[in-house]
Amino acid sequence: MPLFDVVVVGLGAMGSAALYELSRRGFRAAGIERFSIAHDRGSSHGETRIIRLGYFEHPSYVPLLRRTYELWREFEAASERRLVRITGIVEIGPADGALVTGTLAASRMHDLPHEVLDTHDCMRRFPAFDLPPGYVGVFQPDGGYVAVEQTIETLIAMAQAAGAEVTTGVAVRSVTQHGQGVRVSAGSIDIEARAAIVTAGAWARDILPDLSAPIRATREVMAWFSPLDPTPFSRDRYPVFILESGHGMHYGFPLSRKGTLKIAKHHHRDETVFPDEPRRPPSANDEALIRAAIAEHIPKANGAMLAAKTCLYTMTPDHHFIVDRLPDAPNVIVASPCSGHGFKFAPVLGEILADLATDGATAHDIGRFRLGRFG
């Protein structure tokens, strides 16, 4: 008999959620992480991630978002820790831009609460912003942010309390179909299980060399600034935001308790990197890419940069997720790459992955995430 029902490879956002869900359901589950829990080498670090319902990427994500909101509340209740803060979110850009049109399409299709603000009303309500004529703000009251490292640490602790085994500092070499189950080769040992879930992000292809999806890792930069004037950044006047402008797409968070503003450029340079190569620290050029939008559109945030960090996006060509079985190894499930917008979905993807690994199917619609779409 295999030692485990399911082995989870990679314990970032998706892996830690899947491990918790499996252990919560009573399955013999093990998790393996090549680094430490809540490390800063991948995609799941940097203090905060946005959560929102009206999804400009595609309306089909909204049912999953509704479920993930429910599960975030359940996680908070089970852990007695506050992981989500609802601040509202304002998404700002040209009226015909991808951000505004996509958010409105999803909000209207799914009857989500939202307000549409013209340029004048947007700046009056959110005075930190300086916007040109023709820009529109879409405000969603249900938006906010999630605590990143705290979430992963909490999920792993709850999984272990429910019986999961966790191993860190060990790199998985391969995951293969083995008889009616799988074999996970990690370090100097082989582990047999009924199924495996690979949520290794940028390292997925190292572990699954025959993965058909054309994925790549990109280097991203997030930064923390000291505002020139903190007055317009009070929490009732400056929620989570996404801004589409001539400088690209930027996002940011309310003023922290330390008095800092986290702001970053989404798809910073579209610069492909390899996950194990030496990590290049943030540069003056990286700062300039972020600061250009701040200087023009959030001028009172344009103070000293106090800190900056790099992270990885693991991209698919269409920027949609991968959640599927391997065609030639049906007991191996791969999840992510999430193309830079996946953290908020961790609870529902954990539920989906547990379904696939133990029941063979899920009630959630994941048709958009199938590997077959790449041919």
CB neighbours of residue 173 within 10 Å: 13
pLDDT of residue 375: 82
- Strands (E) across the chain are located at 4-9, 29-33, 48-51, 84-86, 89-94, 115-117, 135-140, 144-147, 165-168, 172-178, 181-186, 189-198, 216-225, 240-245, 248-252, 261-266, 272-273, 305-315, 323-326, 329-335
Q: Which of 237, 204, 212 is nearest to 312 (CA)?
A: 204
pLDDT in tens, 176-222: 999 999 999 998 899 999 999 999 999 999 999 989 899 999 999 99
| Residue 237 token pair | 């006047």
Active site residue 48: yes
**CATH T-level assignment (fold) for domain 89-141+216-315:** D-Amino Acid Oxidase; Chain A, domain 2 (3.30.9)
| Residue corresponding to tokens 């989906």 | 352
Other CB atoms closer than 10 Å to residue 259's CB: what's the count? 12
> May I ask the CATH architecture of the domain 4-46+148-214+318-374?
3-Layer(bba) Sandwich (3.50)
Instruction: From the candidates 28, 34, 265, 344, give the one annotated as an active-site residue.
Output: 344
Question: Among 81, 237, 267, 370, which one carries the catalytic annotation?
Answer: 267
Label the pairing between strands 172-178 and 305-315: unpaired
Q: Which entry of 49, 291, 309, 320 is annotated as an active-site residue?
A: 49
Q: What whole-number distance in Å separates Cα of residue 286 and Cα of residue 308?
A: 9
Q: What is the per-residue DSSP string for 34-72?
A: SS-TT-SSSSS-SSEEEE-SS-TT-GGGHHHHHHHHHHH
Catalytic residue among 45, 52, 309, 320: 45
What does the block give as tokens for 340?
């830079």
* 291 part of the active site: no
Query: Of the residues 48, 176, 199, 310, which is catalytic?
Result: 48
Identify whether the C-beta of residue 14 lies closer than 8 Å to the C-beta of residue 349: yes
Pairwise CA distance, residues 236 & 126, whole Å: 9
Q: What integer pLDDT is reported at residue 2 of this predicted model?
A: 64
Residue 319 annotated among the catalytic residues of the structure: no
Concerning whether 265 is annotated as a catalytic residue, the answer is: no
Mark whether 122 is an active-site residue. Answer: no
Query: Quick check: 59 and 106 in contact, CB under 8 A?
Result: yes
Among residues 194, 262, 291, 300, the one annotated as catalytic is 262
Among the listed residues 311, 316, 320, 338, the single catalytic one is 311
Mean pLDDT, the chain cut into blocks of 10 residues (375 residues total)? 88 98 98 98 96 98 98 98 98 98 98 98 98 98 98 98 97 96 94 97 95 94 98 94 98 96 96 94 97 98 98 96 96 93 98 98 97 92
Residue-level pLDDT at 363: 98
**Cα(373)–Cα(366) distance, integer angstroms:** 12
Instruction: Pinpoint the residues of the chain covered by CATH 3.50.50.60.
Output: 4-46+148-214+318-374
Cut 0.95: pTM above it: yes
- Domain(s) of CATH 3.30.9.10: residues in the chain: 89-141+216-315
